[in-house]
Structure 1
Amino acid sequence: MSAQKRRAAVLGSPISHSLSPVLHSAAYDELGLGDWTYERFEIDEAALPEFVGKLGPEWAGLSLTMPLKRAIMPLLDDISETAASVEAVNTVVFGPDGRRTGDNTDIPGMVAALREHGIEQVESAAILGAGATASSALAALARICTGEVVVYVRSDTRAAEMRQWGERLDVEVRTEAWEDAREALTAPLVIATTPAGTTDPLAGLVPERPATLFDVLYDPWPTDLAARWSAYGGAVVSGLDLLVHQAVLQVEQMTGRAPAPLGAMRKAGERALAAR
């Protein structure tokens, strides 16, 4: 039992769909942290400074989702190298002295999710999409990909941004038009970072012997692409895998307790999704 009541929460807009309270609360139960609570708050960029400024000493940490991952950065005292590398913070930990330290657990979470499925290193990879999640995927690939990453995008602006991220992260990036995205499906690792429904037209184009697909969505699940990929015998890493692994790292940072209970958190997430 913890010595005093501690609070944590996930902030974002929209936030009602977030599974983070389910995952973190399951971890607290497993770790015997009966005085810890984890909530969700609908907070947009305009409301963020006031909310953070009013937090008291009982607060241990925050999880940030869209659109706050960049907006939180000016409000922090320290930012990890990982978070700075993609200019995105999804985790804030409050120190005993009140200092606010920002980190990004999405990147190591992606690496851990892939490792759990036996993917330690790849010679090349493809990314579908070029939004915020794509830059985190590129940072994860910087750790495990030894060759070229091809990013399929819808606009020249996005293409230029992804090439810039590649230079910054020291990853060899080539961009191609979204219309040619079927070519991505033969890569050793495909990371789909696009919104629900975007990759559905690609499902009928999956090759007979696909390699590994990492689809960052978890609701609805499976996506058409993931279902066809799995039916053809390919390995599939889901958005729930990512969500759980990044949450494990958040729990460990906020509570100081490691290892966090990965299995219990995953089961809680699966039950919550099944109930939707």
Structure 2
Amino acid sequence: MEITMLCLIFCLNTLSSSGTKDEKGPFMQLLVEKFSIRVIPGRSQFFKYSSVSLGCESSAGGNTVKRNTSFRRQDSCSCSWGRFNGSFCTISDLYPEDSGLYWCETESGECSHAVNITVTAGSVILESPVLPVMEGDAVTLNCTTDIPSNLPAGFYRDGFFIRTGSTEEMTIHSVSKSDEGFYKCSISGVGESPESWLAVRASPPAAPPPAALLSVSRLMCHVVVGTPYLLSTILLGLIFRDRRRATQPDEEQDRSHAVIMEVE
């Protein structure tokens, strides 16, 4: 019960902060992510009357999709707003009232990260990743309209104009933390999309090599360094042995000659 209340407080705080540009947006973590929520299609904005499916990616059973919207608080997937289709909760007809936070929760009250879904009655949406993207990845933002149009789209970040695309998409080829922000787009004569937060996750640091691997590496280093000295020692020993063998017949001959001289 305490964990469930903690999830509720977290989602309420995240929902209140997602509408302000001073906050980092709705992509935050409450607990260590043992599982995650999956959104199909994987974007954060949807047209009215479109559909979306949400599922919990976890090996453990008993997970359920929950949401927190301005219409309902701490509400589980049910016939009132969605229906289960296999392991997914599907909303067939989205309405602006379905905008809000969605997350997965276990029977014990553990929560996944939350995603912010926006449903608009307008004619333009921005198709942007609903989950955080990895630093260095290529990210494409699509400005989509439900009205046929060949007009270029304008893109904005944090309210400032970025560029006008020759098409309805804009690609960030190597995204970084500096690219985080609230993005939206507009098409002249058609309309403007809502804003969505683009979250960028820093690349994980390279894992240090295991201790056993370090020991093997050090051993190999010692072998490589010490091999020339060992070979030199062996070579000198062989040369000394050959020279000693070559001198032994002369020494024996001198001794024999000395013995003969003494006898005489």
- Provide the TM-score with structure 2 as the length reference: 0.23
The structure richer in helix per residue is 1
Q: Which structure dedicates a bigger proportion of its chain to strand?
A: 2
* TM-score, normalization by structure 1: 0.23
Choose 1 or 2 for highest CA Rg.
Answer: 2
